[in-house]
Structure 1
């Protein structure tokens, strides 16, 4: 039985959901975007009327308004986006037990064996697409193929309510003329390097010397060569599949620049508390702390350090982060965004004491942090907190644990970062 893999993409999902909630938005140019005041003012999604003004996802609100002065900006409601996109995926799950999310608004489905119950897989994909529209009023684009990579490419090619079929017979005609940057796992930097090698299209990549690609890019080079030739055999993960979490982190673009170490400490305090709470949520501790700082010129610098013992304590994460931040050789630098990540996770339920630690003190700190988190869970984030973060409340008035920034999980199996 031939494989029938479908990739479904909810078209400009955030904007469609806002239109579903408020049909009046369909009559005006509208985009879902952040807040310029909080310095996360970019376009996250736009409706069809806004698209006519060539407004692009990822551009600043200022750039978008220059193209369309009457553009209506709606702030995102992530909890609702999660709710409605899961409802749509519930429709997919009625037809197959293999539905793998790729971010919030995308998913793969394996309809190969579903054909025994529901008939031809291509017609079944169209049926699912119609059911989504009938039940939710939302359109999804679909790519139907014999592997995940080409299915994803197909859904990118066919927007609105339609689908593209890419099979073993036509993929050279349909896929190979496409720009190499359209292929999954080819980012901007890889695309530029491929262009330097004279590889401009997916067909060029497919006909290239595979050995040379491996020598130039390592394992990823061989993988891209296989993708271009239709040799992706990866499975669609079953419903309920959980990837192993490799790291936990949070970052923040602050409302105004961080000008000194005291302000950095306050912002890092808020982020460290979030990272520690999320580690405890998944019953994990981490042995490596990493920090990054991005200055006002968007220049990035980062450092990391291995701890003497795994931790899920905010104070230990905070003090390590500050130690790492002091390694920045630049003086009088102002930071626009900063972040902390903890990796090399373990599920140890107990502390591994060293010569300089006090297990009883650590457990006391852990209980105190857990109580604070419980109070916040009941009464809201601002119901309980450290007095130190109130010294400059403009910088620290954010809840990183409650902020949803949803990115596609890694295509390669085995890991996910939170």
Structure 2
């Protein structure tokens, strides 16, 4: 392996983050099986995190609350409060920033920290990790697990290896004896589906993957096969991004599980208008326009499908996004089963500029006027609140219009449905 610079990277994970924050704020919760979940009255009833007392009951992150209560009838459910979790995780990460300007978030509860340039000041990577663990616990009463390694993949593997409050170092000298014996599913980017396909190839451990034929892996998985092979062999060399660096988004979208089932296109339109407005506003805030619009639908049997359309001219207005979303819905859904949740996403993003490609078959003056109107409405909502301006359709059924999807946009940690919280 070619290594131009010996790096020291930490991956820090706040253990069972949401649940631990609730325990920190309400200590008696540490003594009972407890889980943080969505609002069942709004049909967001899934487990987002659980504490150590709930672990023996095999409660899994992402499963319905009702299922969890069948496993543990005494399970105490705390409704998620994302503003609270965002506040405390940001305070914890302020500690990380004291040791490096290279701190890269991986969801709310995880982050990579490149401390290579800090070793002369604070000591070895393990010493820095121990100090961060002590400080987080002393200042906020929270435990973190930390992996210390020479790249991001093995640093994350180290933090996942031992919880809670684990501290694991994986070096260039020991990664074969340490990591290669572990299940291949422990490796970053190897999810449930990929694990099953690897097992079909008799690849069960990280070492099996490291020694596998690259020709076979490329044939079965394409570029992803070569990527995970390089991970297994310790060849991952991506940088931990600077704190001032923001990765451009690949897509912008929003979805909503409605308080009651959507039974027809008129009801769907009310929800899609809200979601399209959210997507359009966020596109304009980030100065992007989109050339692909995707509709996602999940029915009452929890079956999910998506339908998308590529458009010739990039757009960033609610009216245009809504029109396409309604077309996609009409083409792909017959309402034999009601809709439980629905979403709109914009992708193939391009930067907005002062020049627009004109379409010979549309009224460009009306389009520009409509865009200005949407911007004015958004400015009013920013000043006086989202509900200060409403469309008439929102009054038809308040159950479908009682949300500000932009203001209440829920953020979950990356991979929160994989059961690792």
Range of TM-score over shorter length: over 0.9
Cα drift, residue 370 of structure 1: 2.2
Partner of residue 153, structure 1? 157
Aligned residue among 383, 388, 395 for 1:390: 395
Per-residue CA distance 1:39-64 (angstroms, 9 max, x = gap) = 21011112222234332211111112
CA-to-aligned-CA distance 1:187-232 (integer Å, 9 cap, x gap):
1111111111111111111111112111211111011111111111
Matched residue, 2:366: 361
Secondary structure of 1:316's match? helix
1:328-371: CA deviations, max 9, x gaps?
Answer: 16562322221111112222333332223333322322232223
CA distance in 2, matches of 1:381, 1:329: 30
Verify: 1:320 aligned to 2:346, yes or no: no
Residue correspondence of structure 1 range 187-206 to structure 2 within 5 A: 187-206=191-210
Once residues 206 and 399 of structure 2 are traced to their aligned partners in structure 1, the CA distance between those partners, rounded to angstroms, is 48
Q: Which moved more, 1:319-328 or 1:53-62?
A: 53-62
Q: Find the residue that maps to 1:326 and give its secondary structure.
A: helix
Return the alpha-carbon distance in structure 1 between the equivalents of residues 200 and 238 of structure 2: 29
Q: 1:367 to 1:21 in 2, by over 3 A?
A: farther
**Aligned mates of 1:23, 1:372 — CA distance in 2:** 45
Higher mean C-alpha deviation, range 24-33 or range 211-220: 24-33
Mapped pair 1:372 → 2:357 = no
Deviations 1:372-395 (A, max 9, x none): 223332333333211202212112
CA contact (8 A) 1:143 1:158 kept: no
Report the secondary structure of 2:332's partner residue: coil
Is residue 248–residue 342 contact of structure 1 (8 Å, CA) maintained in 2?
yes
Distance across 1 between alignment mates of 2:382 and 2:337? 36
Against the structure 1 CA distance between its residues 270 and 129, is the aligned structure 2 distance closer, same or farther, given a 3 Å change threshold? same
| 1:125 aligned residue (129, 137, 144) | 129
2:239 matches 1:212:
no
Structure 1 Cα separation of the partners of residues 330 and 28 of structure 2: 51
Match of 2:269 among 240, 265, 272: 265
Which residue matches 2:244?
240
> Which residue of structure 1 aligns with residue 419 of structure 2?
none
2:404 counterpart residue number: 399
For the 8 Å contact 2:210–2:232, the answer to whether it is kept is: yes
Alignment partner, residue 83 of structure 1: 87
**Shift in CA distance, 404/45, structure 1 to aligned 2, threshold 3 Å:** farther
User: Matches of 1:187 and 1:53 in 2, distance apart?
Assistant: 23
Shift of 1:38: 1.5
- 27-36 vs 230-239, greater mean Cα deviation: 27-36
Q: Is residue 85–residue 104 contact of structure 1 (8 Å, CA) maintained in 2?
A: yes
1:51 is aligned to 2:55: yes
Q: Secondary structure at the match of 2:135?
A: helix
Instruction: Measure how far apart 1:169 and its partner are.
Output: 2.2
Q: Equivalent residue of 1:372, what SS?
A: helix
Aligned twin of 1:291? 295
- The alignment partner of 1:309 has SS state of strand
Choose from 170, 173, 179 the match for 2:183.
Answer: 179
SS at the partner of 1:341?
strand
CA distance in 1 between counterparts of 2:66 and 2:387 reads: 31
Taking the aligned partners of 2:202 and 2:376, their CA distance within structure 1 comes to: 59
Structure 1: runs of 5+ lacking an equivalent:
411-418
State how far apart, in whole Å, the 1-side matches of 2:399 and 2:148 are.
Answer: 49
- The alignment partner of 1:226 has SS state of helix
RMSD of the TM alignment (CA)? 1.8
CA distance in 2, matches of 1:405, 1:397: 15
Q: How does 1:23-172 map to 2 (within 5 A)?
A: 23-172=27-176
For the residue of structure 2 that corresponds to 1:245, the secondary structure is coil
CA contact (8 A) 2:9 2:116 kept: yes
Structure-2 residue corresponding to 1:307: 311
Partners of 1:74 and 1:378 in 2: how far apart? 33
Q: Distance between the aligned counterparts of 2:17 and 2:88, measured in 1?
A: 9
Shift of 1:273: 0.8
Deviation at 1:150, TM superposition (A): 0.9
Give distance in 2, aligned partners of 1:398 and 1:306. 28
Q: For 2:307 and 2:61, how far apart are their aligned partners in 1?
A: 31
Query: How much does 1:403 deviate?
Result: 2.9
Range with greater deviation from structure 2 (135-144 or 207-216): 207-216
Alignment partner of 2:309: what SS? strand
Task: Kindly indicate whether residue 357 of structure 2 is the aligned counterpart of residue 352 of structure 1.
Answer: yes
